[in-house]
Structure 1
């Protein structure tokens, strides 16, 4: 069977994804500051020139990774809840299913920690990082608005603040679980979400 010949666009996308995967491994294993563009390119099997043909910097690559991940997560959860229509029970079940699947392995936990630390220490990267996280927070706030409307009662605090707290809890618990064991982020999220909507018997 003839091998599929990649188009220029497909080849470039393949290169970008391999560089992203290599960067994830390098940053998780060595730390952001200790990882160089040369390390990433070598790990992926490319030259530094190939790296700079696709990304301006390590920061640019990791922001692209974060953007992809956040978009995929947002599509998955909003799509699942949307299929429930106006049925609160079905919508909440979809939210629970998503929460149970939320998790990170040890490498992903280390990468998430490195990104947060780098954002805290470097204002330029931190602004871009915060903007992406804010977009995610607004998506989750809108989702919570919908669920509370279906449930028929007001949220205990404004939904943007609630969404931000849930995101922080999920990240922290996922890291703790990946590194030290114990309850998964999904288990904790489900417990918290049930307490928020317990009036409806979710």
Structure 2
């Protein structure tokens, strides 16, 4: 291995680490401030870097925002799948849904704020809309597979197409996060999980056919 190759490897790792830290820190910044009010200085200040580190890794605040949103979405899905994976075979029941949402509790409010910001940006900006819809399509695809998996563990299958079921349940979850953060309304995540969601899963599914 040449000296130049040996020197390049740590540099690449450093660059990857810098990008990762900037994106991770950005999630909290965008959760606390409207997208249009966030500056490069906000982002590098939160991550402990210089403006030079930012511009050597990213072209714009928008690029970091999109990456932060995508990362938070992946974290949410990975956390739910982890809980399902850790549940012993044959021991997943309706009451197990509480564990799924407990795992989401630290992530949900931040994801909700980023999702709302991205939604507003997409409504007003055609380029952002294209990016947003691509992310939504990927996210919804993974959500559909997750809901199919959960219903399968419960020995059930949807009575309508899984896409409609997944979208409806996600809409309720987003609404519950908004209710929680605004402090107004009845359908908080706790009410959704403890009362409504189990009933909906049963009402919108049937025992799996042999």
- Would the TM-score normalized by the shorter structure come out above 0.5? yes
Q: 1:18/1:192 Cα in 2 relative to 1: closer, same or farther (>3 Å)? A: same
- Number of aligned residues: 194
Name the CA distance, whole Å, in 2 between partners of 1:145 and 1:105. 21
Deviations 1:38-78 (A, max 9, x none): 43234433332211222222222122222222222222323
Cα root mean square deviation, aligned: 3.2
Residue 96 of structure 1 is matched in structure 2 by 98
Unmatched 5+ residue regions in structure 2?
1-9
Residue 53 of structure 1 is matched in structure 2 by 56
Residue 143 of structure 1 is matched in structure 2 by 146
C-alpha displacement at 1:25, in angstroms?
Answer: 4.1
Where 2:73 maps in the other structure, the secondary structure is helix
Q: 1:154/1:111 Cα in 2 relative to 1: closer, same or farther (>3 Å)? A: closer
Deviations 1:128-163 (A, max 9, x none): 222222222112212222343454554243111111
Query: 1:1-202 alignment to 2 at 5 Å?
Result: 7-84=10-87, 87=90, 90=92, 92-103=94-105, 109-180=112-183, 184-198=188-202
Name the CA distance, whole Å, in 2 between partners of 1:64 and 1:113. 15
Name the CA distance, whole Å, in 2 between partners of 1:46 and 1:162. 43
Name the CA distance, whole Å, in 2 between partners of 1:177 and 1:197. 22
Q: TM-score, normalised by structure 2?
A: 0.72
Name the CA distance, whole Å, in 1 between partners of 2:109 and 2:152. 37
Name the CA distance, whole Å, in 2 between partners of 1:91 and 1:192. 15
Name the CA distance, whole Å, in 1 between partners of 2:113 and 2:76. 19
Higher normalized contact order (CA 8 Å, seq sep 6+, divided by chain length): 1
Q: Confirm or deny: 8 A CA contact 1:81 1:92 kept in the other structure.
A: no
Unmatched 5+ residue regions in structure 1?
1-6
Q: TM-score, normalised by structure 1?
A: 0.74
Name the CA distance, whole Å, in 1 between partners of 2:92 and 2:132. 33
Q: Confirm or deny: 8 A CA contact 1:173 1:184 kept in the other structure.
A: yes
C-alpha displacement at 1:108, in angstroms?
Answer: 5.7
Where 2:160 maps in the other structure, the secondary structure is coil
